[in-house]
Structure formats: structure tokens, C-alpha cells
Structure 1
Amino acid sequence: MTKKNLPIVDKNSRYVVSAAEMKRCDQATIDHFGIPQDVLMERAALSICKYVKKSLPAGGRVLIFAGSGNNGGDGIAAARILHQDDIPVVLVLVNHKLNEKAASSKRTKACEQQLKIALSYGVTVIDFDASSINNEIKRSSVIVDAMLGIGCTRDLEGDYKSAVCEINYSKEDFDEKAPHVISADIPTGINADTGQVQGHAICADETVTFGFLKMGCAFYPGAAHSGEIHIVNIGITDDGFLNEPPRFKYIDIPDVSEMAKLLLPKRNPAGNKGSFGKVLIAAGSKRISGACIMAAESCLRSGAGMVRVFTEKTNLSAVQTLLPEAMTDIYCEEDFDTNESEVFKAAKDNLLNALLWSDAVVCGPGIGKGKAGREILSIILENAKLPLVLDADALNIISDDEETRKLICGYEADMVMTPHLAEFSRLIDKNIHDCRLCMIDETIKLAKEFHACIICKDARSLITDGERCFINLSGNDGMATAGSGDVLAGLIGALVVSGFSNVTEAAAIGAYMHGVAGDMAAIKNGRQGMTARDISGGLRDIFSGQSNIL
């Protein structure tokens, strides 16, 4: 795939970082640019205090759990600032003791210094004691978790485990009187790279994260443990990466009314239906009629000038009734039973003519894994030299058939593949339960194998062409409904002909807009009852610039 700039994505995206990337940026800020660590820690503490004060009721009390590292130092500094503001606060030392000698202490130098300052101001400091901490928790309105930060890489043990369990138990035991929990940087117990729970993890109401969003807060289950996330500037900026930027970005457009204007190429005011792109949708079968309709409808709503549906003849009436704007070509599944028959040649010629007409192709939704679906996919792969979007059954055929997989690897034009996690597991030949742990590396590997852009769909989707990597944070669990992927496939089909510099850019923006459309649909219809076609309605709202929904 030709390497190009992605100006629209670059302009509207932000970094999401691993633990190593964050540490590297943090250290460069100190060593290369000369900002003292104490200054960064003080600003982090001030940010924590800002959100503590927002959540603290009048006369409320704050309990801060501080570990022995720099995350603990942030918490200790926050305790001192709150104390100086006459807010009742108790500082709990976890995994280190108040009377430890500096020479033998587990505390980092910065943490040790912050503790000395806090003590000199008279902050109340206690050692963690599992047998009595529940009484302290009951007396507190806000709890700050500043125990481990991004340093958690193995299952919690000892006092860390006990402290996390006691804080989480308070949410269950106290109901509406439970203290409000704020985590510093990332909830303790969440792996900063994967989002996995290391045995136990804080269930925070809010997370105040410093500089950049952490991968562990972006991926589930870490995202669910993080609550509302606040990304705060403490002086660590993009400059700290020293021209070696993080691997992943995410798109972020706070104002829905600006989304279409900011994310989509400008349309030619003198254009016509032909110049806005002609997309062929090869979808649907005898058993499944809705897939071709949902993909085609989404494609039309997303800006394609013309859409042509190649589908089994039993779907013709439904397409013509529900989507009169679409053109149709039909075949009989039996036409593909014998490759030498006249009806096969006629069906193949019909598909080849449709390919000649097209600017891009979407193939796979509902075509089935039988003889007809396999032949349709093979004809497209052998004859098309167009941007190609592969979804659903097309991906399952590739997983089952080595010859088709070879055709994919040799496809000469741009390609986007949109597997959900089960389809992804079949493509990489791994158990679905293991896929989340290797999702990043395996998606990049698959993209390189197929020379394609992969959208690996899950609660957090990954988008990569093997070089550029994006994570999509939009969307909700209401989108886990039949047909949602068909809507995405149609949307991507429209975007790849709309003037983006690269299909990866179209795919990243398409995944984001699909999720936002799902969020809008959930507000209108509720997550429990929303359907895939409601997501298409959300796309209409985005393109119309509605701003009163999210």
C-alpha cells in the first residue's frame, strides 16, 4: 500500500499511549526539555484536587491511598494541597510505612520528598491496615486511588490487593452513600497496555489521566473500571516523544455538528451522481435479504452518488420496495452450481459488467459460504482492480479456503476488511477467547499479510494498515445487534470513493462515524431496542449537522 499523509486524521486525532511510551515522553520532558519532575508532580496533584473538589460535598472528607512510586507521590502532593485548603484529608500509605528509613524504603525519591513536605505541613498520615481501613472509608466522601498508576504489570498482592478490595467493597456495601472514587492516571490493578484486570482492580467513578489517554483506559475491561476520564495537561506534550510518536491514535470531535465538515473531504458543488462515486454492493442470499439492504442504504446515506446491488433474485422485491434509489442486478444461487453452464456464464458476465461500472465494491454481507458466495468472491478478486471492502461471509470464506486467501494476498488495489472478533479469530486461527490479548499484534500482522487495512471490530475497534494504527472509542453496546456490521461496510464503501487520500483514512473515520451514529441512535431509541437501521439514521443526523443529540 502506498504510503501517504493522512491530513484529515492527523488534524482531528490524539495519541493513546502505552506505559513505555508514556514513561519515555515523561522522561524526555524532564531530561531533554528541563522541566523538573517536582513541577510535573505538583501540576498532576493540582489536577487531582480540581476533580476532588468538584465531587466533594460540603463538610466532606477525603481519603487518599498512596503507593510508594511516583503515582503515590502525586497522591501525597494532592493530600497536602487539600490540607492547605482546609479540606479534611487523611493520607493512607500502601505498601510502604510512615517510619521506614529512607535508605531501606520502597519509596521513589520524588515520593519520599513529597511525604516529607506533607508531614511538615501537618497532613494526617496513616499506614494501611486492612483490619481498620473500613472505618476510614465509611467516614469519607471522596477516595483518591494513587497507588500504582501505569506500573501495574502483574496480579495484585498484599496491601495493594487488600486496599483495592476494601475500596470496591465500599461501593457495594454503602449503596448511595458510597464514597466517590477518583483514580490518578489509571485505576490500580489495570494493565496500562492491555486494559486487562490484574487479578483485582479499582472500580473508579472518574479517572484523571495525565498528558495522554492510556491504552489501559481505552480498552475493556479497563475502560469500564475508569469511569469518566479526564485528560489533563500537566506539561507533558507531544514534544516529549522527540519525533518518535506513539503507535496509536484516536479521532476526537467533541462537536457533532462540526463532524462532517471536519472529517469528510469537501464535495464538489458542480458534481453529479456519477462523480460522487458508484459503489457495487455484492450482498444477500436466499436466506438473508436484509444485509444487502442495510449495506446499500448506509452507502447511499453516506454520500455515494450511485449504488448498485448484486443479489439473489429472491431479494429483488425487498430491495426495490425499501430502497428504490438503488440499482439492482440479480442472480439465482443455482446459476453457480456448474461453472461450465450457460446460466453461470450469464451470471458471471452480469457481475463483470457491474464491476466495469463501479468505482468501489463492497462484498460479503449475507452472501453465504456456499458455492454462489464463493464464486462471487472469486470473480471479484480475480477481475476487479477497485477499492474493495470485504465483510461478513467474504471473510469466513477466506478463513476456510486457502486458494481464496492467496487471491486476497495478491489483490492489486486497495482493500478494507472488517472482521468482528469471531471472524478475526477464524482469520488468524486462534481461539476467540485468546484474541483480545493478542488483538493489537495480530491485527497488524494480518494487515501486512493481506496488504489491506483491517478494522477489527470489538467494543473498542482497531484500525490498521500494518503501519498506521488507530483505536476507535465511539459507539456503545446497543450496536451489538444484527446488521450493524453491514451498515459499517456500506459506510466504508461510500467513504473510499469520496476523495480521501488513503483507504486507511476512510476506514478510521468510517469506524469513528459509525460509532457516533450508534451513540446518537442509542439516545433516540435506547440501547436495548435500537436496530442497525437506526444507526443509518444516526449517519443521516451526522451528515445533516445536527448538534442537539449528543
Structure 2
Amino acid sequence: MIPVLSREQMREFDRHAIEACRVPGVILMENAGRNAAGIVLRALGDRQAEIVIVAGGGNNGGDGFVVARRLLAQGHPAEVYLLGEAQHLKGDARVNHDAWRGLGGRVTAVTDDAGVMALSAALAALGPEDVIVDALLGTGLDRAVEGALAQVIGAINESDARVFALDVPSGLDANTGAVLGVAVRAADTVTFAHLKLGLLTPTGAEHSGDVHVVDIGVPGELFREVGCSALLFESDDASELVVPRGVATHKGSAGHVFAVAGSAGKTGAALLCARGALRAGAGLATICTFPDAADTLDQRVLEEMTARIDPALLEASLDECLARADVVVVGPGLGLDERAQRVAEHVVLTWNGTKVVDADALSAFAGRAAELARARGQLILTPHPGELGRLLGTSAADVERDRFGALARAVELTQSVVLLKGARTLVGAPGELPLVTAAGSPALATAGAGDVLAGVIAAFAKTTPPRLAAMLGAHVHALSAERWVEQRGADRGLVAHEVADGVPGVLARLLGASE
């Protein structure tokens, strides 16, 4: 897994490299800028292009001057615009400004409205083959962008040129991924030494494009001296968790997943959950539901089985039904009426095993997150931002503004594994670093995808610890969607059962990678 650092940790990383390892800051800046220029050169190939570097007055601007110098050395001159006066530059940024000027490089200072207009016109004149390097703000920003900076970022976003951001897109909060007023929308982000938290959020991903992590000349393991805030889960990590079956494996040993799911008009959610479990390797899948829903399901099931909840003996019939379960999913399509509430509360709080708590079962505990901490067994909560907002007594917008913070709060309140869905799904657990996957596709914006995910996680939870089962499930589910997109060349039209049906192919690839 790859470490992901906060703004503060990265600042401490740089300080430790300079003070403890005695690597001067100007060398760190040189290495960062050289390798960022390498990413730009790789994109350019053999062609010439207009290159505009927009630099700020801090170290991010200093990185930009190094990029300009390194591009010039490879035959690609750039126009550099500096927001502010060169006389105000300090330290390493000033050193690299002077080095650029010493080579004959031109710097146009943008100090007033006329300068902003001239820069905006220069950016507007660029075409799709041209390049803008965003070296304005970097990771230190913690307040809203206003005035000339905001206007320049707007002009960058309106340009047709390909935008490369240095470290993080300017205007993006490096910790939360929130847009602080306005933020650069980059095609590529060259981030230095380590990934930053804000790049691994839906908004951060939308603004950063393809992310390239480049070396700055000190060992990456130096992060151990300062810590990290999350870990990026990759397919190599998934391969370590997906192991070949023994020859004596049978359906009983492969795991029996029970889905307490479905209600009148929502039986499809239960079927998709069970299908996800079976496609992920569960040997048996039973849908435990109310008689009216079970009657409908009995006309549709093939591999799945059904079991009926007796409304008159609700708790007792649930206990009898779940006595045969290895892992339970509760919530998909369950409903929000009084009997569904009773079912959700009984299963979540009293069944003593691993439970994936999804959808309507999460809504049953809206505003009551702390009650989940007293549940028997182990819980894997799988909310989308709206469900997590209701659980925490806040809104989806508040969750999205700081996904890592909302995840940490949910884990603390519930003392459970929490999977927060989204473009860059997160998994948190008590006493553990959050995990995040960058796998996924907008094609997953389809009804029932979450029901499939709950079943996939449940299948993995038979043999994998809950935190890793949740992350493995999210990663495999996302890779299934990615494969569908690759095969069809479309970013929409995927339906949930196709996600489930793609899981075995993903597992086959992961098994092959592990051998």
C-alpha cells in the first residue's frame, strides 16, 4: 500500500529532509521541478508547443521556475508569468527565479488588472496542443482564493491547453480536496514525494486528472519519521488477499451469506446482493425476507435460496434463520416501515457475527450512530455520503466537504469498520489508518451497484478481516466496472448485475498476478 500524507505531514517531511538528512531545500526543489518537467516532456513527445508557466510567489512558483529551466534545456522554451513582484520572492524560489533569468528566460510580472487581462489573453490564445503549468499555490493553501488569483485560475480553466498542476491544483485544499473558492482543473497533476489526501477525494480527483508521484531526491521511507494519514490500496494488495481455493473446498466451506433484504417492490436489491456474494465466491446465498417479498423472489431465484421472516414472531424467526449464516448483509431494499426498523435493529445489534450494514439498515440508525458501538459481532457499515450524513446527523454536503474527517468521526462513534462510497472509496476502522482505492468509473452511477457491493464484501468477509474485506470488495467491484468500460468504450449504460457478473474475471486476473 502507498502512504498518503496530509499537508502538515508533507511540510514536516520536507523539514526533516532538510534538517535531519541535510538535503538543502534548493536541491529538493530542483529534483521536484526536474521530474515534473520530465512528465511534461513525455506528454509533448517530439512536437513543439506553446508553454505558459503561471507562477506564484511561494515555493510552488519556485518549482515552476525549475520546470521552465529544465524544459528550456530540452529545447522547449516557456513563457513565465509571475503573480506579484520578483523582489518579493524569497529563499529557494528566489534562487530559481534568478537562475531562470540568468539563462535569458523572461518573467512577466502580473501586478494589476491590466496584467491579469494580458495573462488571460495569452492563455485564451493557446490551443489543445499547448501546455499550461500551474505553479501558483501548492499545498499550503487553507483559505478561499480571491481577486487576481481567482481570475487567473478562471482563465486557466477556460483555456483549451493541457494543464499540468504542480503538487496539487491551485485552489484545492490539500487535506480535504475541497475547492477553496475556485480551483484549477488539471489534466495532469505532478505531486512531489508522496500522494496528498486531497487528491484522493471525488472533488480532488475531478480537478487533478492523472496523478503522477515524482521523486524529490530523498528516500520515500522517510515518511516513517513523520507518519502518514491514509494508505492507497492497489491491485497488488488485492492479489495478496485473493488466494487459490484448495481442492477440498465445498459450498459449505466457501461460506453461506444471508441477505436480510428486500420488500414489496424492492426485491431486486435482495437479488443483486445475493448475486454479488455468489459471484465473489460465496458457496451459498440465502435471502431472508418477509413473506410477500419471498413469494415474489421464489419466482425469480435460481442459485439463491429464500427464507421467510414470520412477522408475528419476528425476532425469534430471524434468530432461527440466521443460525446457519457465516456472514450477514442487512438493509438492501429492506424498507423503512416499522417492521423493517425492528428487523434492522435486531439483526444489527444482536446477531453475533460479521454483518455488512447497508442502505435501509443504515437509515434505521439515523442520528443514532453511537448505538452501533454496542452491537454484538463485527459491523461493516457501507454508507454513501447521504446515508453517512443521516447517521451522523449532518448532510451529504458536509460529508463531501471533508470525507476523511467524516469517516474518522463515524469510526469513532460506531467503533466499526466504515466504508464511505464515492469516486475514491474510503474504508476506516478503529485504531487503523484509512484505506482508499483509486479504482472505479462514473459508469458505477447505476441503480443497484451498492447492493452488489454489499454482497461482494460479505463473501470476502468469510475469510478476510472486516477492514480488508471491505476494501477488497470495493476495489474488486470498481475493477469490474473499469473492465466493462474498457470492453465497451462507454462511461454509461452499465447495470448492476453486470458488475456482479464481472467479478469472477477480476478475481481471475488478481489470482494470476499473485502466482
1:504-515 to structure 2, matched below 5 A, reads 504-515=467-478
Name the residue aligned to 1:485: 450
Name the residue aligned to 1:365: 332
Name the residue aligned to 1:475: 440
Name the residue aligned to 1:447: 411
* Cα distance in 1 for residues equivalent to 2:299 and 2:505: 23
* Cα distance in 2 for residues equivalent to 1:132 and 1:381: 62
1:36 maps onto 2:54 in alignment: no
Name the residue aligned to 2:42: 54
Kindly report the root-mean-square deviation, in angstroms, between the aligned alpha carbons of the 2 structures.
2.4
> The residue matched to 1:132 in structure 2 has which SS?
helix
* Cα distance in 1 for residues equivalent to 2:396 and 2:207: 23
Name the residue aligned to 1:204: 186
Q: Deviations over 1:117-173 (max 9, x none)?
A: 112221122212223224543268222111111122112234422322222232xxx
* Cα distance in 1 for residues equivalent to 2:28 and 2:276: 47
Name the residue aligned to 1:376: 343
Name the residue aligned to 1:25: 13
1:208-219 to structure 2, matched below 5 A, reads 208-219=190-201
Name the residue aligned to 1:537: 501
Is the Cα–Cα contact under 8 Å of residues 286 and 314 in structure 1 kept in the other structure? yes
Name the residue aligned to 2:144: 155
1:290 maps onto 2:268 in alignment: yes
1:68-467 to structure 2, matched below 5 A, reads 68-95=57-84, 97-98=85-86, 100=87, 105=88, 107-128=89-110, 129-137=115-123, 138=125, 141-170=130-159, 178-253=160-235, 261-316=239-294, 319-320=297-298, 322-331=300-309, 335-336=310-311, 344-345=312-313, 348-381=315-348, 383-399=350-366, 408-467=372-431
Distance verdict in 2 for CA 1:350–1:182, change over 3 Å: same
* Cα distance in 1 for residues equivalent to 2:2 and 2:350: 39
* Cα distance in 2 for residues equivalent to 1:371 and 1:298: 28
* Cα distance in 2 for residues equivalent to 1:16 and 1:145: 22
Stretches of structure 2 lacking an aligned partner (at least 5 in a row): none
* Cα distance in 2 for residues equivalent to 1:365 and 1:92: 54
| CA apart distance, 1:283 | 0.6
* Cα distance in 2 for residues equivalent to 1:457 and 1:59: 42
* Cα distance in 1 for residues equivalent to 2:136 and 2:55: 5
> The residue matched to 1:91 in structure 2 has which SS?
strand
TM-score, scaled to structure 1:
0.85
| CA apart distance, 1:298 | 0.4
* Cα distance in 1 for residues equivalent to 2:286 and 2:354: 15
Is the Cα–Cα contact under 8 Å of residues 348 and 357 in structure 2 kept in the other structure? no
Is the Cα–Cα contact under 8 Å of residues 5 and 196 in structure 2 kept in the other structure? yes
Q: Deviations over 1:302-346 (max 9, x none)?
A: 111222211233444654555422222124xxx42xxxxxxx23x
TM-score, scaled to structure 2:
0.91
* Cα distance in 2 for residues equivalent to 1:438 and 1:66: 28
> The residue matched to 1:168 in structure 2 has which SS?
helix
Is the Cα–Cα contact under 8 Å of residues 459 and 476 in structure 1 kept in the other structure? yes
Distance verdict in 2 for CA 1:409–1:266, change over 3 Å: same
Is the Cα–Cα contact under 8 Å of residues 259 and 542 in structure 1 kept in the other structure? no
Is the Cα–Cα contact under 8 Å of residues 92 and 126 in structure 1 kept in the other structure? yes
Is the Cα–Cα contact under 8 Å of residues 261 and 330 in structure 2 kept in the other structure? yes
| CA apart distance, 1:70 | 1.3
| CA apart distance, 1:538 | 2.1
> The residue matched to 1:197 in structure 2 has which SS?
coil
| CA apart distance, 1:370 | 1.7
* Cα distance in 1 for residues equivalent to 2:448 and 2:303: 20
Is the Cα–Cα contact under 8 Å of residues 320 and 326 in structure 1 kept in the other structure? no
* Cα distance in 1 for residues equivalent to 2:424 and 2:470: 14
Distance verdict in 2 for CA 1:214–1:270, change over 3 Å: same
Is the Cα–Cα contact under 8 Å of residues 176 and 404 in structure 2 kept in the other structure? no
| CA apart distance, 1:483 | 0.9
| CA apart distance, 1:485 | 1.0
| CA apart distance, 1:113 | 0.8
Q: Structure 2: which amino acid aligns with 1:419?
A: P
* Cα distance in 2 for residues equivalent to 1:407 and 1:53: 55
The percent identity for this pair of structures is: 28
Q: Structure 2: which amino acid aligns with 1:440?
A: F
> The residue matched to 1:202 in structure 2 has which SS?
coil
Distance verdict in 2 for CA 1:234–1:530, change over 3 Å: same
| CA apart distance, 1:238 | 3.8
* Cα distance in 2 for residues equivalent to 1:75 and 1:142: 13
| CA apart distance, 1:59 | 3.5
* Cα distance in 1 for residues equivalent to 2:224 and 2:240: 28
Q: Deviations over 1:223-275 (max 9, x none)?
A: 2121221111223444322444212112122xxxx786333245333222212
| CA apart distance, 1:179 | 2.2
Is the Cα–Cα contact under 8 Å of residues 197 and 229 in structure 2 kept in the other structure? no
